[in-house]
């Protein structure tokens, strides 16, 4: 039994994550504040793909997200100085992985440009192998964040919304 969610809820999440990982789609997992969504998603996704797990932290800027992704993908490498280089290095490292997936906890803390970058990254990989599923997790506020007009294209591509109770 999973300590952060009842067995049935965990099984439903695993089933939905399986569909999303197979389809290499965008997914949002939301939960009330009392539910530890990060631990539940981590447990559900760890066996299916090669997840790159990062957390959105205030102020949620694009450079902060890029630094987190780069550190998770190439922890021993020195970070490139020019802005385009970390993005290129992130994409190159994701291509090297046989079954990559990006999981972003506390995605509601990310600014529009950081969320849009994740969308562009996901979109760019849809034409290539390996394809890239992206799972955004957070409290119910994540729905409002993705409801911003600037993020309409991101929200329209979410394949599945899963709510943990």
Residue 2 lies in a domain: no
Length of the chain measured in residues: 165
**Weakest mean pLDDT among 51-55, 73-77, 148-152, 153-157:** 73-77
- The whole-number pLDDT of residue 28 equals 96
User: Which of 4-18, 34-48, 97-111 has the highest mean predicted lDDT (pLDDT)?
Assistant: 97-111
Q: Does any domain span residue 87?
A: yes
Task: Specify if 85 maps to a domain.
Answer: yes
* Residue 20 maps to a domain: yes
**Residue 37 domain flag:** yes
Tokens representing residue 2 in the block: 């999973």
The two structure tokens encoding residue 21: 């990982």
The tokens for 78 are 């020195």
- Does the pLDDT of residue 147 top 90, yes or no? yes
Question: Residue 108's closest CA among 29, 25, 21?
Answer: 29
> What mean pLDDT value characterizes the chain?
85
Q: Does the residue 110 lie in any domain?
A: yes
Range in 2-11, 87-96, 143-152 with the lowest mean pLDDT: 2-11
Look up residue 80 and give its DSSP letter.
Answer: P
Q: What is the DSSP string of 2-27?
A: -TTS-HHHHHHHHHHHHHHHHHT-EE
Domain range enclosing 144:
7-163
As a whole number of angstroms, the distance between CA 77 and CA 69 comes to 12
Q: What is the CATH number of the domain that holds 61?
A: 3.40.50.300
How many CB atoms are closer than 10 A to CB 92? Answer: 11
Q: Which pLDDT band holds residue 82 (cuts at 50, 70, 90)?
A: low
> What is the tally of structural domains in the chain?
1
Which is more confident, 41 or 162? 162
Among residues 17, 10, 12, which one has the least CA distance to residue 51?
17
Residue 160 DSSP SS3: strand
Query: Is residue 1 in a domain?
Result: no
Residue 124 domain flag: yes
Tokens of 81: 């100085």
């Amino acid at each position: 039994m999973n300590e952060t969610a009842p067995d049935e809820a965990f099984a439903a999440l695993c089933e939905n994550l399986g569909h999303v990982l197979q389809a290499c789609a965008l997914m949002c997992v939301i939960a009330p504040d009392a539910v530890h969504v990060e631990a539940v998603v981590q447990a559900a996704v760890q066996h299916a793909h090669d997840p790159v797990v990062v957390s959105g932290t205030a102020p949620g800027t694009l450079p902060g997200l890029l630094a987190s992704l780069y550190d998770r993908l190439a922890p021993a490498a020195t970070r490139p100085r020019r802005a385009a280089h970390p993005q290129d290095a992130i994409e190159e490292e994701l291509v090297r992985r046989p079954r990559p997936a990006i999981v972003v906890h506390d995605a509601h803390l990310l600014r529009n440009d950081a969320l849009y970058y994740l969308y562009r990254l996901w979109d760019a990989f849809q034409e290539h192998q390996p394809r890239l599923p992206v799972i955004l997790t957070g409290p119910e506020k994540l729905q409002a964040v993705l409801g911003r007009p600037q993020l309409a294209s991101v929200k329209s591509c979410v394949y599945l919304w899963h709510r943990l109770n």
